[in-house]
Amino acid sequence: MDIDSLNDKQKEALLYNEGPLLILAGAGSGKTKVVTSKIAYLIENEVPSWRILAITFTNKAAREMRERVAMLIDEDVSPMWIGTFHAICVRILRKNIENLGYGSNYNIYDRADQNTIIKESYKELNINKEIYNSRTILSKISSWKNEELTPSEVLDGNKEDIFNFNAGKIYEFYQNKLKENNALDFDDLLIKTVELLREFPDVREFYQNKFKYIFVDEYQDTNSIQYKLIKLFCGKAPNLTVVGDNDQSIYKWRGADISNILNFQKDFPGAKIIKLEQNYRSTQNILDVANSVIKNNPQELSKSLWTKRQGGEKVYYKEFSVSSEEEFAVTNKILGLNYKGYSFEDMAILYRTNAQSRGFEESLSREGINYKIVGGLRFYDRAEVKDIMAYLKVINNPLDEIALLRIINKPKRGIGDSSIEKIRDYAINNNLSMFEVIKNIENYEDLNVRAKKNIKSFANLINLLIERKDSLNVGELAELVVDESQYVEDLKNQNTLEARTKISNIDELISNIMSYDKETSLSDYLSNMSLLTDVDKTSDAKGVNLMTVHAAKGLEFKIVFLVGMEEGLFPIIRQDEDEDIEEERRLCYVAITRAEDLLFISSSKTRYLYGKMTPKIKSRFINEMQDTIEIVEEKNQRLIDVIDYSGKIDERITTYKKVQTPNKSIKSVNVGDKVKHKIFGQGMIVQKKEKNGDIEVVVSFENKGLKKLLLSVAPIEVID
């Protein structure tokens, strides 16, 4: 392996392999290259790959890490353990969970499955679902689990708090139902692994001896349970390498604890810290802006990014009168950059909240610019895909009542809700699983002959599929499910566009399953599917990228528009707490460092919020970066929306054929003109184009938003 391509600090990190090491890796500093080179170096120096554990936060990162290591060395790296925290825990639990009283064929419940249990609890516990909504309850349960609080501890500690006491009762019901169904949720995967390693020394020592070298990526994003898991893996003398950046810790809201990275040297005495500060992504001008913002945070682990790409284009900031002008100007600039040769895919609009996308979507659509929202409905969240997956879950684990209930009448086979309810009640009263009752439905008297026949037919179908499970690979089994269940045949009979779309999705699912190794077991396939995260799934559409700053983490674009930089929006602070401001500042730093070549920053003096125009002031972060940005001051209000961020007029937007119009009160108008309408009041022209011998303008009215008007008939006049 050639290490000459590494810089001095990267080489130092590669060669330090005895004892704990924190690689403090700034944005764009090549951390993945360092980690993969370090792993490859160890294997080349006779460390068996099976003795290496590498933990990532996304499946995509795990795949890329494995592929990169394989490219660096001419050896089989398949024995190496590389995966997310959840994936690693699944592997350990499959082998050892029977110690905790679960079967090794447990299923992993997703959010829909969890919601089903919570909804069951309302009826069983006589609890008001409006007050105790499932989202709130599941959030509380997750928090309690991550604090390692059992249901009984929650109940004991909240006897005077009626809300939390009842939530604790739901938690107790929820956990009991998971155990009955031989199922775990995502929190359980980590918590049960921690419990296993703590309570069973032989299991803990096995893995501590197995993993001689441990790597953890994105260490700044670890939570308390993940931290405990790492400590349990390490033992007394760890060769632990963690890679992270305290300046990019932006997930406090989902449990990330920045103190894990800040206290690394305290937690692992004798630990070495190596800082990677050379950036390979952005220009120095962009890095200067990032450094100017982040230096205002506490500097326990300070660093300053630099690059050999000195200079570069200036970073421009512009404050607009209203948010609609900001949206139009960004769209205008995107058109101009595309005209100069940049592809739309090279550009990204970053905003703090999802709600901000609407205006930019409309503005881009008006100009016919393709765009994609990063994030959206995942493939595996589509109903027809979830149905086929539920069949596979039942085949793997017939105790999975939630999956069973999903498919018992899909496609429709004449099994009504009342029959299903009777089966469930009988199962509960006789301490049986639903599947046991269904298998022996002929012994149950409280159903009519037709219902029994339909249920027996379903039971025979599932039994057939279970019998064939071990003789078929997972792809063949999935095909058998589709054929024997008549699911696709039912869709074909519907003969609608929606049905055809669903068939295409099922075809895609089967194709994907077929691509798996023929030795992959059904349990392993289902585990892998459950571990797919939203982070790993983005829209297939091409065009300008629109996303929140959180969604942009780990991505990079040639051109970035950072919009809505206003107090209350970015930072989006509800209480002016130091920790919250610091996290928002780190988020701003992440946004800035996504840009490779060009960065444009903007805000608005007014924004349409809660049904009215609301005054806004520019973000405090603009003040922090003001010495490193070029502030565009408007000298001619008439041209406010056609002046680009460098102060130049875009001729493609402002050159129009002169058209005579009957409206005698208006001789000519320009984008940027202030106008008054008899009904809509005052506003500003933000767009203008010729249309069928007339002139159509888009006006942003102060109290009525955007309106399209024809000058020949619109009762408007230009005002000073």
Residue 554 Ramachandran class (φ > 0 left, ψ -120 to 50 alpha, else beta):
left
DSSP state at residue 601: E
Q: Helix 474-485 vs helix 449-468: angle between axes, to the nearest 10 degrees?
A: 160
Q: What is the mean pLDDT of residues 251-262?
A: 89
Q: What is the mean pLDDT of residues 460-473?
A: 93
CATH 1.10.357.10 correct for 107-181: no
CB 220 within 8 A of CB 248: yes
* 181 pLDDT higher than 90: yes
> pLDDT class for 541, splitting at 50, 70, 90?
low
Q: Please state which CATH class domain 8-97+191-278 belongs to.
A: alpha beta
List beta partners, residue 601: 317, 562
User: Is 633 assigned a catalytic role?
Assistant: no
- What's at 6, amino acid-wise? L
Element (H, E) at 143: helix 134-146
DSSP 3-state helix, strand, coil percentages of the chain (rounded to 5)?
50, 15, 35
* 363 pLDDT higher than 90: no
In the prediction, which pLDDT does 612 show?
A: 53
> pLDDT class for 122, splitting at 50, 70, 90?
very high
Sign of CA dihedral 100, 104, 108, 113: negative
Q: What is the mean pLDDT of residues 158-167?
A: 92
Task: For residues 36 and 7, give the distance between their C-alpha atoms in angstroms, rounded to a whole number.
Answer: 15
In the prediction, which pLDDT does 299 show?
A: 77
Q: Which residues of 491-509 are buried (b: 16+ CB within 10 A; e: fewer)?
A: beeeeeeebeebbebbeeb
Catalytic pick among 110, 218, 247, 583? 218
Taking only the tens place, the pLDDT of each residue in 11-56 is 999 999 989 999 999 999 999 999 999 999 999 998 999 999 999 9
State the architecture of 656-719 in CATH terms: Roll (2.30)
CB 19 within 8 A of CB 271: yes
CB 49 within 8 A of CB 43: yes
CB 342 within 8 A of CB 374: no
> pLDDT class for 574, splitting at 50, 70, 90?
low
In the prediction, which pLDDT does 333 show?
A: 95
In the prediction, which pLDDT does 655 show?
A: 29
Q: Which residues contact 617 (CB under 8 A, 6 or more apart)?
A: 566, 567
CB 468 within 8 A of CB 480: yes
Tokens of 95: 């082998």
Name the maximum alpha-carbon separation found in the chain.
91
Task: For residues 321 and 607, give the distance between their C-alpha atoms in angstroms, rounded to a whole number.
Answer: 9
In the prediction, which pLDDT does 688 show?
A: 80
Task: For residues 5 and 33, give the distance between their C-alpha atoms in angstroms, rounded to a whole number.
Answer: 10
Sign of CA dihedral 306, 309, 311, 314: negative
User: Is 32 assigned a catalytic role?
Assistant: yes
User: Is 452 assigned a catalytic role?
Assistant: no
Q: Cα 56 vs. chain centroid, distance in angstroms? A: 15
Q: Phi then psi for 515, rounded to 5 degrees? A: -75, -10
In the prediction, which pLDDT does 689 show?
A: 79
CATH 3.30.2020.30 correct for 316-377+538-639: no
Cis preceding linkage at 79, omega within 30 = no
CB 613 within 8 A of CB 328: no
Catalytic pick among 9, 31, 169, 386? 31
Catalytic pick among 11, 12, 32, 63? 32
* Topology, domain 379-531: PCRA; domain 4 (1.10.486)
* 642 pLDDT higher than 60: no
In the prediction, which pLDDT does 646 show?
A: 45
> pLDDT class for 540, splitting at 50, 70, 90?
low
* 533 pLDDT higher than 70: no
In the prediction, which pLDDT does 534 show?
A: 36
Task: For residues 363 and 640, give the distance between their C-alpha atoms in angstroms, rounded to a whole number.
Answer: 16
Task: For residues 91 and 523, give the distance between their C-alpha atoms in angstroms, rounded to a whole number.
Answer: 11
Taking only the tens place, the pLDDT of each residue in 274-310 is 999 999 999 999 999 999 999 999 878 889 999 999 9
CB 243 within 8 A of CB 34: yes
Question: So where are the chain's domains?
Answer: 8-97+191-278, 107-181, 316-377+538-639, 379-531, 656-719
In the prediction, which pLDDT does 628 show?
A: 96
* 575 pLDDT higher than 70: no
> pLDDT class for 640, splitting at 50, 70, 90?
very low
* 561 pLDDT higher than 90: yes
Residue percentage of the chain with pLDDT more than 90: 57
CB 48 within 8 A of CB 20: no
* 505 pLDDT higher than 80: no
Q: Which segment of 160-174, 200-214, 372-386, 697-711 scores lowest on mean pLDDT?
A: 372-386
Task: State the SS3 of 663-696.
Answer: CCCCCCCCCCCEEEECCCEEEEEEEEEEECCEEE
List beta partners, residue 215: 54, 241
Q: What is the mean pLDDT of residues 457-463?
A: 93
| Residue of 233, 249, 252 whose CA lies nearest to 241 | 233
Catalytic pick among 110, 217, 400, 401? 217
DSSP per-residue letters across 518-530: TT--HHHHHHHHH
* 611 pLDDT higher than 80: no
> pLDDT class for 461, splitting at 50, 70, 90?
very high
316-377+538-639 matches 8-97+191-278 in CATH topology = yes
Residue percentage of the chain with pLDDT more than 70: 90
Q: Which residues contact 162 (CB under 8 A, 6 or more apart)?
A: none
CB 712 within 8 A of CB 664: no
In the prediction, which pLDDT does 685 show?
A: 83
In the prediction, which pLDDT does 531 show?
A: 66
Long-range CB contacts (within 8 A, 24+) of 178-181: 178/109, 178/117, 179/101, 179/102, 180/399, 180/401, 180/433, 181/107, 181/397, 181/399, 181/400, 181/401, 181/402
Catalytic pick among 140, 406, 585, 594? 594
Q: Which segment of 452-466, 529-543, 582-596 scores lowest on mean pLDDT?
A: 529-543
User: Is 248 assigned a catalytic role?
Assistant: yes
User: Is 110 assigned a catalytic role?
Assistant: no
User: Is 616 assigned a catalytic role?
Assistant: no
CB 487 within 8 A of CB 386: no
Q: Which of 47-51, 522-526, 608-612 has the highest mean pLDDT?
A: 47-51
pTM of the model: 0.73
Tokens of 698: 């888009």
Task: For residues 639 and 634, give the distance between their C-alpha atoms in angstroms, rounded to a whole number.
Answer: 8
DSSP state at residue 315: P
Q: What is the mean pLDDT of residues 414-441?
A: 88
Task: State the SS3 of 352-374.
Answer: CCHHHHHHHHHHHHHCCCCEEEC
Taking only the tens place, the pLDDT of each residue in 663-679 is 444 557 887 788 888 77
In the annotated binding site, the residues are: 25-32
In the prediction, which pLDDT does 444 show?
A: 79
| Residue of 689, 698, 690 whose CA lies nearest to 716 | 698
In the annotated binding site for ATP, the residues are: 25-32
